[in-house]
Structure formats: C-alpha cells, structure tokens
Amino acid sequence: MLTSLRKGAASWLAKILFALLILSFAAWGVGDYLSPEVEDAVATVGESEIGAEEFRREYSRQFNDWRRRFGGNVSPELAVQLGLPEQVLQAAVRRRLVELEAGRLGLAVGDGQVRRAIEEDPNFGGRLGGFDRALFERVLLTNGLSEGEFVAMLRRDITRRQVDRSVGRPVQASRSMAEAVFRYRNETRKAVLIRVPEDTALPDGPGDAELRAWHEENRDAFMAPAYRAVTAIVLDPDRWLDRVEADPAAVRDAYEARIADFTVPATRRVRQVLFDDGASAQDFMGQLATGAELETAAGAAGKTVSDLGPVSRSQLPQAALADAVFSLAGDGVTGPVETPLGWHVLAVDQSSEERVIPFEDVREGLHREVAREIAIERLADLANDLDDHLGGGATFEDAARALDLPLLTIEAVDASGRDRAGEQPEGLPAEPNFLRTAFSTPAGEDSLLGELGDGGYFVLRVEGETPPAVRPFEEAKPLVLEAWRAERLDEAAKARADALAARLREGRTPASVAGGLAVEQTGSFARTDSDPEIGLSGAVVEAVFAADRSETVVARAADGYTVAVVEGIEPPPYSEQEIEAIREQLSAEMAADVRQQFHAALQDRFGVAINSDLLAQFN
C-alpha cells in the first residue's frame, strides 16, 4: 500500500493536484491560519480605526501632562479612577469624526497654509524672532516625530479647526438672556416665617385591621430584598492569628528594618516674610538686628508674616530654605534666602529634635503585623489544599473536616450584607467580593476559590435564594406602625400649617395667628441660602422664590413645616461687568452644546464602535 502511494505521488497527475492545492491555500490565505489577525483598534470610526499604539501615545501624553499640572501624586490608578482613558478616547473619536466630515465636505489645506502655520508658531521662534529651522527639527526629534508626520498632523489639525470654528462661531447669547440670568441669580427676598413642628405626642395606635389595611395600601414601602442562604469556608488572616505565634526576634528585626517609619524628624516653627528683591530683604534684616519685632517691622514695610507652623526639613519647599532654617543652633532669624518665589527672611523658634519611637511602644502592633504575614503565607498553602480537595470531588463538609476548617453558615443575607433583622450576619467577610460572588453564583452551585483582597481566601455554596417580596404583616408590623405614626404626625403638622396659612391669606398678621409658635423675621436671602434653625429649609426657599410679594406659602422643613409670608422682593443692583461675564459664560455653554450636538450627529452619520476589551487594558 505504501509503495503504491509513493508511486502515485511521483506521477505527473499527483504533482498537478499538489500544485493546485498549494494555489488554493495561497488564494484563501494560509497566512490567516498560521498568523491570526490581532484586533488592535481601540475604536472604529466609520471606516477609520484608532489603533492601540495611537491611543497609547496620546494616553501617555495626557497622563504626563496631568502629572506636570497636578504633581507627582497622580498615579496611574488615580488617573483610571478619574476616567482618563475614557476622556482620551472620547477626544480621539471626536477628532476622527471631524476629520471624516471634513473629507466628506471636500475641505483641503494647502501647503502654503501649513507653511505659514509652522513659521508663525512661537514654539519654533528663534531668539531674534522668526522661524528657527534648527529649533523646529530639535522639537520634532524630542517628540519622536518626522517632519512628514508632523506636517500630516498639522494639516489634519487645521482642517478640524476650520470645521469646529464654522460650527461654534455664530453662537452668541443675547443680552436680554444674560440680564434675566443675572436677575435670577442675584435677586434676594425677605419673609416672615412661622415654624410648625411635628407634635411629639404619638397618636393612638390603630387596631390590627386598620394597620393591616394600611400595610396593604403601602406594600412597596415594605418590600424585602432578595436573600441568599450561603455556606462558606473563609480563610481570613485576622481570624487566624490565634493559630500563629510570631518569633520575638522576627518582631525585633521588623522594627530595625522599619526604623525610618518610627523616626520622628526634627522640626522648627518657621515664620517668614517674603520680598520681591534682595535689597528690601537686606534692609528688613537690618531692622531686626536693631531689636525690632518681626510683626512690627513687617507691618512698617507693608508686608505680612506667614506662619508656616512646625515643619520638618522635608516639608520646606526649597532645599535652600531647609538649609538656612536647620543650620541655626537655636532660635533666631536667618536670611535673606533667594528662591524662585523671591527673597525669604525666616524667624525660627520652638525647635524639637529628631527622636526614635522606642521598640516597646510599637512592639504589640509589630507583633500583630508579623503574625499576620505568617498567617497569610500559611493560608496560601491551605487555600491550595482546599482547592485540591474540592476539585477532587470532596464536599464542603468533607474538606472542612479534613483540613480542620470551620464552616460559616449564613441563613439569609441580602446584597448589602444585612440579614432579615437588618443586622450584619456574624462572620460575614467585609470584602465586597464575597457578596458579589454570593449573588452571582447560581443557587445550588459552588463558587470558585476567591480572594478576599487582604490576603485571605473563600469558597462558598449558595444553598438557596428567596426572591424579593412584600414582608408579611406579622414580620413588618413594627415598621408598619412606625411608618403609620410618622405619616399621622406629618399630616397633623401639615394641616395645622395649612390652617395658619388660610388665616394669613384672610389678612391676619403672623403674630396674631401664631398662637405661641416661633415667628422669625428673615433678612435678605438668596436662592442658594438656607437657615434650618429658623425653618428656612431649601424647600421653603424654593417656595418663597416661586411666590409673589405678600403671598403665603407652606413648605416642608427639617422638623415639620414652615409657613412663610413673602415680605419683600429685592432686585439686584445693576452690574454691567457681571452681566457681560454671564453673557460670555452662556455663549460658551451654548457653543459647547452646539458642538456636542454636532459631534452626536457625526457619530450617527459615520458610526462609532468601541473595543471595550482593549480599552479595559488601560483600566
């Protein structure tokens, strides 16, 4: 048989068939099978793609810009929390949409326009003015760009600006609109308030029949959430400490290794006077040398004394200041010291020297930390053993017995971590991942081994689920009675307030109808003001500003209701400067709205698809 196959393979017919097979692979793309295509577009805009490398470069640039503006405390994690990846992608998508629209409209930017933009860019201007070719090339080299790449980017940027300007240019808020907003924002009012508190005496409780009927009418207020019954094995380092003994020598070693953490740096109380020039600072030093007090001399020089408080060497913003302050043997005055901020004259007192917190003062806490690290190491091994047992078919109960582990049984817990009584079940891990797993694992099934995030582990089984339902009357009766009484108290206070308001509308004065209730005369207040102590709540302010002069209104306050009589409406004093500022703000907001609508229309026209999985890699 093999001999026949060899002979057939050597024949001319077999060779032709083999050649056709090779051609078919070439036609269909054998490379697609050997080297599958990798999806590297973070977003697809129309027929155009925003590649991962393009996005990564822009993200890196924006992140570095954040760090320059806000300091080195901006970490990658914080940038993600603040939504930087999404912001960068949205900006890139908007740019690409505008570029596609420019192409659809046939807009073009000539070489002369690009040349002028480069030559007029101040970033490329030499010392003597005008375009500096050498500087231009250095800037491109620093940013890793070729001249062709930069020109292409600039051409696209000019095109986008043309489209954006054409969209936003005609938007201008009217003066009447700005004046209306000015009056709305700055108008003030005065009112007389009568506070009507809820009665502290509880009404008589209703009978069961009435309470049952009220429970039935307000079923939605007494819904019980979904509950899950859970059996779990929890490996918590903090609950394992009684099984761990830390070596005293290891605790001492931890103290020595972290001695810097227990070293309290030397401090000096520093007061400073800052001058713009060295001559003035030197004259000031001369006055202090004659015995003048720091504050007195500063006042005479038209300067203020800044009290920096007790500071360590590292807390002073400039090394020169730290050297000057800590070079003094005791209290005194030093300077002038020049920094980019100006010339500093520094007064130093209340010194404290560097000290080390004794081992005995921190021994107990260090012992716990060392013991916890040991517990975490042991639990990692134990978690692997537990996973092996369960993977081998053992039940939770069998695995717990074999490894001497306690079982945690939770009869009912909701997604917020509360049982039917509204309490946190004993032993429930505080780590949110536990509850997420409990409510994402199907009833009757086991979860995978999960981590607690603090060095611990858990695995759980969902024994059963109780869907959301109205709490039975017997279970909810205390809550029903409390809610019924709260409603009765609210109704009584509201009825009393409405009765007072009716008498005021008949022409009576607040003092004559108050009947011992507190009456308050307010001063002028704006829409954003409130004073809960006199009954001027946010709801009362809103009601007063919706009313006319002399009108009476009733609104909810913190502990009842407030009856308010609008006593005065005061228009704001005219301010041309503020009206113009409001007009500019409104114009900018309107232009932004137009651009947003324009970009939304472009998105509908061209279509945008986001690669969420790839974007998540930046989160």
Output Rg (C-alpha) for the chain, integer angstroms: 38
Among the ranges given (135-139, 240-244, 555-559), the one the predictor scored with the smallest mean pLDDT:
135-139
In 408-456, which ranges are E strands? 408-413, 450-451
Per the prediction, the chain carries an average pLDDT of 82
Task: Provide the pLDDT for residue 12.
Answer: 40
pLDDT digits (tens, 9 = 90+) for 322-363: 888 888 888 888 878 888 778 888 888 888 888 888 888 888
Per-residue pLDDT reduced to its tens digit, 26-50 = 433 433 333 334 457 888 888 888 8
State the pLDDT at residue 169: 61
The three-state secondary structure class of 430 is coil
Q: Work out the pLDDT band at 127, boundaries 50, 70, 90.
A: low
Over residues 384-388, the mean pLDDT reads 89
150-170 b/e with 16+ CB inside 10 Å = b?
A: bbeebbbebbbebbbeebbee
**What mean pLDDT do residues 236-252 have?**
83
Percentage of the chain lying above the pLDDT 90 cut: 21
Q: Burial, 347: exposed, middle or buried (Cβ in 10 Å; 0-12, 13-18, 19+)? A: buried
Q: Strands of 179-327 (E only): list them.
A: 188-197, 223-224, 227-235, 263-264, 267-275, 306-312
pTM (2 decimals)? Answer: 0.49
Q: What is the CATH number of domain 226-247+361-467?
A: 3.10.50
Give the span between the Cα atoms of 502 and 498, in whole angstroms.
Answer: 6
- Residue 493 is predicted with a pLDDT of 92
* pLDDT of 142: 66
**pLDDT at position 148:** 78
Sorting pLDDT into bands at 50, 70 and 90, what band is 100?
confident
Query: What is the DSSP track for 189-216?
Result: EEEEEEEEEPPSSPPPPPPHHHHHHHHH
- List C-alpha distances in Å: 539 to 196, 490, 493, 556, 563: 14, 16, 16, 6, 11
Q: Which helix (H) or strand (E) holds 265?
A: none
CATH of domain 266-353: 3.10.50.40
In tens, the pLDDT along 182-236 reads 999 999 999 999 999 988 677 777 888 888 898 888 888 888 889 999 999 998 8
